[in-house]
Amino acid sequence: MAHDIFISYSSKDKHIADAVCSALENNKIRCWIAPRDVIPGREWGEAIVEAIGQSRIMVLIFSSAANSSQQVLREVERAVNKNVIIVPFRIEDVVPTKSMEYFLYSTHWLDALTPDMEAHIECLVDTLGKLIPQHQTENNRKVPASKAKSPIIKNIMFLAAGIALSMTAFGVFQWYDRSTESAKANLVSTGSIESSGKKSLTPNDQVKPAGEDVSNKRTDGKTEEKLLDKETSDQDTGDNSPMNNSKSSELGTEAVSREEVKQGSTTSLQDEKPSLKIGEYIRFGTFNGAMIDWRVIHIDSKGSPLLLAAKILTMKSFDAAESGTYNKTGTGIEFDVHRQRSKVYTDYSETDLRKMKGSNYWANSNLREWLNSTERRVSFHSQPPVPAAVARGMNGYENEPGFLHNFSEKERGLIKPVSHKVLLPSPEKGSKDGGSASYSLIKEPVGEAIVNYDQAFYKNIQDKVFLLSVKEAEEYLYDRGWDLKTSPTKEAIDRDKSNWYKELKGQYGGYHMWWLCTPRGDSPSDVCIVAPAGDEIYTDYATMAGGGVRPALYLNPAGLSLSGEGSESDPYIIK
């Protein structure tokens, strides 16, 4: 082991973190701290995950900045799942957020609230010096499986012993004893759907190809959650968070959770040879005359792999202007392109914005209907995506065959219908299945884009083919250290009439933006998009005709027979 301590902190508290690191290393206690110990050229997320897994103890520099940092929260969650002792070193008198409290509710806190930070750090060093050999002894002791301690119990045992030795010298401790009942869920029942004023599918209406039965939605109203890398749910897929392990509706509990399986690990169904593993590639289905390459980004508790198109397959609008004419309401109101973006939401009504800019609600979107359709010509339930109804008048797809049209009957039968969590924009929040606030993202770095996702209004919707949510992009790509940036296929570039890709190609080296299914919560028309460089998530109007489409779907693992190596250059092919 190259280090004993992982130091977790907000960049705003770097001076304290550096002082702690220096004091520990002066006492021959080895530390890992970012960015110092991230090897140049290596993916940041991968380095963080590996460093935490190799640590004995995490020192959490706890402040208001750390309390609100999604990155710090992910690091704490990872430490809990890896049985790493957490020692919170509190430098500000701040009450933990509910998400942070969930992971730390039974942990002793070492306070450094009074003057003389040097003395507090000395006490921390003394405490850690006692905990490290104790932790090593405990790990070397063989424990029968039936008596193995949980991560929280281990934290209590180790911290109680170590911190008690330094209480006299230090003098100030806090004990947070939170009842686990406060972190349990209030089960949410499915609400009725209210009309948004748009003639469309309701959220609970599955997009159902003729002759196919996809009605496997749960009706018992039960909700389940999990810890990252733990198999605790036997439900089908849903959008899940490594930062929300309680069953609390306040933290955005989902009706159907997705189980995280570490790359290279096995499931009960993976005894079949060959089996798909996270990170592998498979060639499955056809679009625009070319076979589609997918990457396995997740495996659920049933052993079903989640596939994400390796590249952008097409450029399309998320939805069409409901009036049928881009930037016009049809009642005499025309969108002022020179108006400040901040004033758009006060100067136009939600109804008028959707007439001019389309709907950002996944359940109502043209893109959802097209992706799930097997028809030669899609029967859109709302305003079709004709060229006149999208930006620049290009890339209309009202006459295009549905995405699943060119899949064989066998291939369609392998796609597993799932119920997944979709956040609600402001016009639909009255039909929520859960949540207590609007999702507030406008533009954030990828690592910080989850913001208040777990508290946001949401609905459970069933699909066969869908777009990733912000949460899934963070968990299944970014948290693995994978790039979110990608380029379009040759077929997508050749068929793009919007010129967005050509305009951005020189600036971003051939990478392109791609849609997510998550809306901006306080807007009726803005949808989340991964930036071409893959470093940011921002929002734009649903009518943007140049947005890249990377479909996602789950495969039923039963009976899969594969050939190939599963690599990017030699993907699996279904026999």
| Element holding 88 (H helix, E strand) | strand 85-90
pLDDT, tens only, 503-532: 876 678 899 999 999 999 999 999 999 999
More confident residue, 370 or 224: 370
- Note the pLDDT tens digit of each residue in 167-219: 433 333 333 333 333 333 332 333 333 333 343 444 444 444 433 443 333 33
pLDDT band, residue 438 (cuts 50/70/90): very high
pLDDT tens digits, residue range 126-135? 889 888 765 5
pLDDT at residue number 227: 29
Query: Taking 60 as the threshold, does the pLDDT of residue 109 lie above it?
Result: yes
Select, from the ranges 64-68, 81-85, 471-475, 478-482, the one with the highest average predicted confidence (pLDDT). 471-475
Tell me, what's the pLDDT at 225? 33
Model confidence pLDDT, tens digit, residues 350-405: 999 999 999 999 999 999 999 999 999 999 999 999 999 999 999 999 999 999 99
Q: Which of the two residues, 413 and 248, has the higher pLDDT score?
A: 413
Mean predicted confidence (pLDDT) in 18-27: 92
Mean pLDDT of 217-236: 34
One DSSP character per residue, 198-245 reads S----TTS----TT--------S-------TT-----S------TT--
**Residue 167 or residue 71, greater confidence:** 71
> What is the percentage of the chain residues whose pLDDT exceeds 70?
74
Confidence check: pLDDT of 536 > 70: yes
Residues contacting residue 183 through CB under 8 Å, at least 6 positions apart? 101, 102, 105, 246, 247, 248
pLDDT of residue 274: 53
pLDDT of 237 above 50: no
5 band by pLDDT with thresholds 50, 70 and 90? very high
User: Which amino acid type is present at position 433?
Assistant: D
Domains and CATH numbers, the chain: 5-183 (3.40.50.10140), 249-555 (no CATH)
Neighbours of 143 (CB within 10 A): 10
For 546, phi and psi rounded to 5 degrees?
A: -100, 15
What is the pLDDT of the chain when averaged over all its residues? 78
Question: Does residue 419 have a pLDDT over 70?
Answer: yes
DSSP state of 556: P
298 band by pLDDT with thresholds 50, 70 and 90:
very high
Tell me which residue of 175, 63, 169 sits closest to 121, measured CA to CA.
169
Indicate whether 572 pLDDT > 90.
Answer: yes
Contacts (Cβ under 8 Å, ≥6 apart) of 81: 151, 227, 228, 229, 230, 242
d(C-alpha 444, C-alpha 440), whole Å: 10
Average pLDDT score over residue span 534-541: 95
Query: Quick check: 117 pLDDT over 70?
Result: yes
Q: Residue 106 has what pLDDT? A: 62
- The yes-or-no verdict on residue 464 having pLDDT over 60 is yes
Task: Let me know: does 417 contact 567? Beta carbons within 8 Å.
Answer: no
Tell whether the model's pLDDT for residue 240 goes beyond 70: no
